[in-house]
């Protein structure tokens, strides 16, 4: 279980998340050009050889979440919203791309309620490394 914390309305709230397998076709990546990013080849080799250190982090695929997910993304890299998939990938787009290219059907994922909780989970995973 991953325990994330979020400060909201002057209270510290803790929420537990259990990673689960999600079909890769149920996940939409709002960012393209992952293969062109620095370190992609090294990440791909590591993920395919050693597996993923952390699950990808997903949120429900809503218009509001999509708009929040593409903030501060290079406009040339934004993918038009695919409203038919169930989840948006908030963290782990490169790993998801690697799994899809390698024909994996499922990927370990943490499904959070929104952008704020996805970031809280990201920070918890980052601090636990």
Tell me the per-residue pLDDT of 54-75, one tens digit each, with 9 for 90 and over: 999 999 999 999 999 999 888 9
Q: What is the pLDDT of residue 22?
A: 97
**66: domain range?**
2-128
For helices 40-50 and 93-101, give the axis angle rounded to 10 degrees.
Answer: 60
Q: What is the mean pLDDT of residues 107-129?
A: 92
String of DSSP letters for 62-118: -HHHHHHHTTTS-GGGBPPP-TTSSEEEEE-HHHHHHHHHTT-SEEEEEE-SSHHHH
| Domains contained in the chain, number | 1
- Residue 14's nearest CA partner among 121, 87, 103 is 121
Q: What is the pLDDT of residue 81?
A: 94
pLDDT at residue 38 is higher than 90: no
| Domain CATH for 122 | 3.90.1530.10
pLDDT at residue 33 is higher than 70: no
Question: Would you state the structure tokens that stand for residue 113, as one six-digit string?
Answer: 């309620």
Neighbours of 26 (CB within 10 A): 15
């Amino acid at each position: 279980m991953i325990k994330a914390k979020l400060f909201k309305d002057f209270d510290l709230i803790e929420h537990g998340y259990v990673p689960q397998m999600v079909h890769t076709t149920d996940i939409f990546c709002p960012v393209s050009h992952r293969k062109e990013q620095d370190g992609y080849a090294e990440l791909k080799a590591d993920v395919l050889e050693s597996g993923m250190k952390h699950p990808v982090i997903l949120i429900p695929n809503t218009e509001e979440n999509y708009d929040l997910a593409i903030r501060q993304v290079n406009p040339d890299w934004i993918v038009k919203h695919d409203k038919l998939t169930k989840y948006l990938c908030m963290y782990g787009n490169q790993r998801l791309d690697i799994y899809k290219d390698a024909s994996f059907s499922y990927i370990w994922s943490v499904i959070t309620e929104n952008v704020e909780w996805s970031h809280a989970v990201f920070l918890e995973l980052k601090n636990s490394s």
